[in-house]
């Protein structure tokens, strides 16, 4: 018996990396998963692989900055699986640039994907979850949403701090409807988002000095947290911050 039996989950940014891992592991725990992304071929391949291994998965094109795409993605979940119980706002980008060198276009782009995307996903998931009698919204923030960074990631930090407080606002405003909302704050995870650091011995060593567990996290480390927050095991958890960072923010 899976921890997510009977749950229907919509996951943004699910074609590769962290999002694909969420989709695979949630399906293994019994969830029916709807994978949303803009790289359609890769997303369909992940969905097909989940289905081939006995899981339930459907792919939908989802540009998280598009309200129409969000509306269609939620409708797809309800059409195929009859309801929506879980939303994982996973899609996000990282732009490395100092404040003075960050262009207006880059700032607008990262805000649109990392913040507007979470807002729009939440907006369109709420009515479906209300119909389902409740649900769980899981927003992927970052340790950058908790503390400042000496790296050139000020715009990214601003977006992840926004996600953190949007999570709390959602939680308190919709608790009466049994719709929970929590944020996850990963440390460095082995995905393409930190490829530049992983390929640079100098940058990697510098990061390791601020990492008590002395290892880069794996996508599965975060997916286990997603599964917990999606499951009924966390039924008394809302508005919280689940930090999965190898001890980074403990020092």
Going by C-beta distance under 8 Å and a sequence separation of 6 or more, which residues neighbour residue 185? 141, 142, 143, 145, 146, 160, 164, 241, 242, 243, 244, 245, 249
- What is the CATH number assigned to the segment(s) 8-191+219-241? 3.40.50.720
- Specify whether 224 is catalytic: no
Is pLDDT above 80 for 149?
no
How confident is the model at residue 184, as a pLDDT? 98
Catalytic hit among 81, 156, 224, 228: 156
- pTM of the predicted model as reported, rounded to 2 decimal places: 0.96
Residue 189: both structure tokens together: 């995870």
Note the pLDDT tens digit of each residue in 74-86.
999 999 999 999 9
pLDDT at 194 exceeding the cut of 90: no
Q: In angstroms, rounded to a whole number, what is the distance separating the alpha carbons of residues 26 and 8?
A: 10
Mean pLDDT score of the chain:
95
Q: Calculate Rg over the CA atoms of the chain.
A: 17
Q: Please report the pLDDT score of residue 209 as a whole number.
A: 83
Question: Would you state the pLDDT for residue 234?
Answer: 98
């Amino acid at each position: 018996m899976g921890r997510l039996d009977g749950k229907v989950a919509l996951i943004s940014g699910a074609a590769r990396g962290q999002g694909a891992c969420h989709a695979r592991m949630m399906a293994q725990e019994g969830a029916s998963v709807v994978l949303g992304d803009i790289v359609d071929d890769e997303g369909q391949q992940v969905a097909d692989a989940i289905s081939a291994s006995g899981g339930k998965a459907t792919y939908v094109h989802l540009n998280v900055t598009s309200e129409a795409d969000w509306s269609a993605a939620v409708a797809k979940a309800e059409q195929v699986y009859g309801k929506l119980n879980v939303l994982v706002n996973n899609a996000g980008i990282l732009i490395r640039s100092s404040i003075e060198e960050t262009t207006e276009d880059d700032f607008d782009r990262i805000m649109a994907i990392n913040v507007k995307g979470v807002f729009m996903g939440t907006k369109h998931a709420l009515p479906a979850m209300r119909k389902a009698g409740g649900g769980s919204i899981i927003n992927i923030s970052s340790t950058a949403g908790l503390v400042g960074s000496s790296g050139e990631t000020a715009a990214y930090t601003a977006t992840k701090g926004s996600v953190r407080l949007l999570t709390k606002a959602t939680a308190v405003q919709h608790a009466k409807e049994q719709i929970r909302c929590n944020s996850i704050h990963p440390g460095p995870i082995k995905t393409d988002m930190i490829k530049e650091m992983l390929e640079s011995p100098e940058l990697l060593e510098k990061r390791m000095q601020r990492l008590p567990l002395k290892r880069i996290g794996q996508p599965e480390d975060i997916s286990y947290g997603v599964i917990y927050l999606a499951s009924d095991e966390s039924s008394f958890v809302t508005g919280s911050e689940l930090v999965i960072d190898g001890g980074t923010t403990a020092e």
